[in-house]
Amino acid sequence: MKRIGIVIAGGLTILGLGGCAVYQPLALVESPKLVASVDQLETRVDGTAFQELPASWKRYAINVADGLDETETVLLALLNSPQLDAARSQMAEARASLYAAGLLPDPQVSAGLDFPRGNNPALQAGASFGLGIDLQQIITRGARRDAATAQAEATYLNVLWQEWQVIQQARILWRRAFIQKQQLAILEDQLQQATSTWKGIHDAMAQGNATLDQDGLALAPMMDAEVAVQESKRLLNGTKHGIHLLLDVDPAVPVLLSGVVNMESLISRQADSDLLQLALKSIAQHRPDLLALQAGYRSQENRVREQILMQFPSFSIGANSLRDTAGLWTLGPFINLSLPLFDANRGNVAMARATRERLHEEYRSQLISASVEASKIIHDQQLARSEWQALTARLPQLAETVDRMAHALSSGQIDMLTFTTLRTAYFSQQARVLGLEQVLLEQAVALDTLTGLLLSDRAASAASESSSLHLQATQELHP
């Protein structure tokens, strides 16, 4: 009997050690190791990944040699963003937590010796062997696994939400760079004309054909144009570095952007009103972060259930084999119970319920915020669109007036102050038009971000794709 107990205990110990993990160190990198060439970026798009994208985008051919258009920038950001690499690593933790929650508790093995005291030669050393298991861990296993499953789903959806935000960030940066390059070109043109005017008057003043006040009136606009050009270059530099960061490309490597935006077309194909209202009403069914909050709430519901189950007496069962000091072997079962008189897990139940209430209110707050913010963007778009249409309708007339005033200035019919004021106003209106175009372009992306759909591009097919994110997240976790 003694040998059998020793063999069982030894076998269980060897079996347990055989399943142990082995420690392996993982060193941190000491340099960022950014991509040294755009050609080294990952360009293959897996058709089964990125379900938040329309199918047509997944089939889009990426060609980095001729510059990156908006869609190429989005796809390259999804494939290469270090921010997304860090976010996706959370899935390994979620799967590990789900794996741990499903494990059964280890059996408990005990052994002991009992040495008699005295000089009675008939007595011998006693021994005991026990084998048991904690049943409470088995009873609460279902609730723990359900909680871990919902939490893993929430993690997956949060990663999906970060991918969606990177998509929109890439679109905004590309569109911002598109506008800022045009703004810089206009400001450089303004600086060139202001410089030419000032040099002409300055040379004329040196010959006695112009006065000091005329020189000053020409110098001030040139100085303002110089400042505006430098500020525009600084803004464009920030946008370009944002694209480099998104693509994991060394800032010293040039990233060529290509493509155009037809503003007339964009204005005429604003998000369909019916589709927009449908998207806002069903936002909780397709926006990944709201789906993640729902999954997190379900996880907490199961944690409340787990803590309530743990209020009941904790008990374990097993069997003991004993040999007393007289050499008599016995075998029998045992039960260990804890008496829930003082603690009874009441504190953990209260904490779990309070956390559930907090998650409930946070979810409601997110829904309200998304709805109000979307309404604000829609009205802002309408105002910006009306102003843009009014300015673009009148700008050609102003350009013609500036051209006529230039001829009038050369013939001495108007003074320099009148002309420079009018020309500066013309350049200001051009800049205003571009500013409104940037607002419209970025607001369209912001609305897509809030609704979780590509409404501004009339990607209605994305609605059906995004509405199935919840199901696809579950399939991802349980293939």
What's the whole-model pTM score?
0.77
pLDDT tens-digit map of 294-322: 888 888 888 898 888 887 777 778 888 88
Residue 472's pLDDT band (cuts 50, 70, 90): very low
pLDDT tens-digit map of 211-226: 888 888 888 889 999 9
**pLDDT surpassing 90 at residue 273:** no
* 351 vs 268 pLDDT, higher one: 351
Give the pLDDT score at 48. Answer: 72
In this prediction, residues 149-163 reach a mean pLDDT of 88
- 3-class secondary-structure state, position 436: helix
Half-sphere exposure of residue 292: CA atoms within 13 angstroms, side-chain side: 14
Phi/psi at 349 (nearest 5 deg)? -65, -45
Which helix (H) or strand (E) segment holds residue 84: the answer is helix 82-88
pLDDT tens-digit map of 361-374: 988 998 888 888 88
Q: DSSP characters for 343-412? A: -TTHHHHHHHHHHHHHHHHHHHHHHHHHHHHHHHHHHHHHHHHHHHHHHHHHHHHHHHHHHHHHHHHHTT
In this prediction, residues 380-401 reach a mean pLDDT of 89
Give the pLDDT score at 11. Answer: 57
Tell me the average pLDDT of the chain. 80
Give residue 67's identity as a one-letter amino acid code: G
Give the pLDDT score at 148. Answer: 87
* 182 vs 326 pLDDT, higher one: 182
pLDDT tens-digit map of 40-56: 888 788 777 777 777 77
- 3-class secondary-structure state, position 100: helix
**Do 384 and 339 contact (CB within 8 A), yes or no?**
no
d(CA 182, CA 178): 7
Of 129-133, 192-196, 233-237, where does mean pLDDT reach its minimum? Answer: 129-133
- In sequence order, the β-bridge partners of residue 331 are 321
d(CA 176, CA 438): 6
**pLDDT surpassing 70 at residue 476:** no
**Do 353 and 311 contact (CB within 8 A), yes or no?**
no
The domains located in the chain, with CATH, are 50-106+141-312+357-477 (1.20.1600.10)
Alpha helices in 248-287 (DSSP H): 263-268, 273-281, 283-286
d(CA 155, CA 91): 7
